[in-house]
Amino acid sequence: MANIVDTMSKDRVKPEEFTAFIEISKGSKMKYELDEETGLIAVDRILSTSTAYPWNYGLIPLTVAPDGDPLDVLVISSEPIIPGALAKCRPIGIMRMVDSGDQDDKVLAVLPKDPMYKEYTDIAQLPKHLGEEIQHFFNVYKALEGKKTETGAIEGPEAAKQTIQACMDAYAKKH
C-alpha cells in the first residue's frame, strides 16, 4: 500500500524547502512511527527515560538515509505539531548522530510561517543552549533501553541541504 514516504509530489521535497511528515509532537514521551504498510501513525513505545522530545520530530518523504529509513527532521516551532500533520519546513542545520552503530543524522528545521522562528536561516543564530538541549536528549533518550546513541557536531544549513540532496538521490536510486 502506498504511503506519504513514497507518494508525495517531488516538487514538495527540495533541499532548501521540504514538506515534513510529523510523527511526534514536541513535549511528548510517546514514540510514534509511520507504519509504511498502512500510512498510519503507529505507537512504537513510550520513552523509558524521564525526557521528552524537545521539538516536533518526523521524517522527510522521498529520502533514504544511511540507516535505510527516511531522513529524520526535528522541527523547531513555537507550537506543538500533531502527529500525522504535514509541515512545510526550511532546514537551518543538521545534527550528526550515530544510533546503535548506524549513521542517523537529524535535520534541524523551522516553519517559514512561524512568527517566532521564520527569520532564522542558520542554527547558529539560535541560542547555543537549544543545540545543547537537542544533543542531550538524543544522547540519553534510549539509555534505559540499553541502546547506545552518540551525537556529533551540529552543522549549518549548507550541510543540511547537502545531506537532504544525498538522501533524495539515494531514494531515487532505490526506487
Report, as residue numbers or ranges, the catalytic residues.
53
Determine if residue 26 is labeled as part of a ligand binding site: no
Tell whether 31 is in a known binding site: yes
**Is 104 flagged in the annotation as binding?**
yes
C-alpha cell at 60: 522527510
Residue 72 labeled ligand binder: yes
CA distances 108 to 38, 50, 120, 130, 159, Å, are 27, 23, 11, 11, 11
Dihedral of CA 130/145/41/97: which sign? positive
Sign of torsion over alpha carbons 133, 137, 19, 66: positive
Helices of type H across the chain: 4-7, 128-140, 157-174
> 141 a known binding residue?
yes
Question: What SS3 state is found at 109?
Answer: strand
Residues annotated in the binding site, as ranges?
31, 45, 57, 67, 72, 104, 141
Residues annotated in the binding site for Mg(2+), as ranges?
67, 72, 104
Residues annotated in the binding site for substrate, as ranges?
31, 45, 57, 141
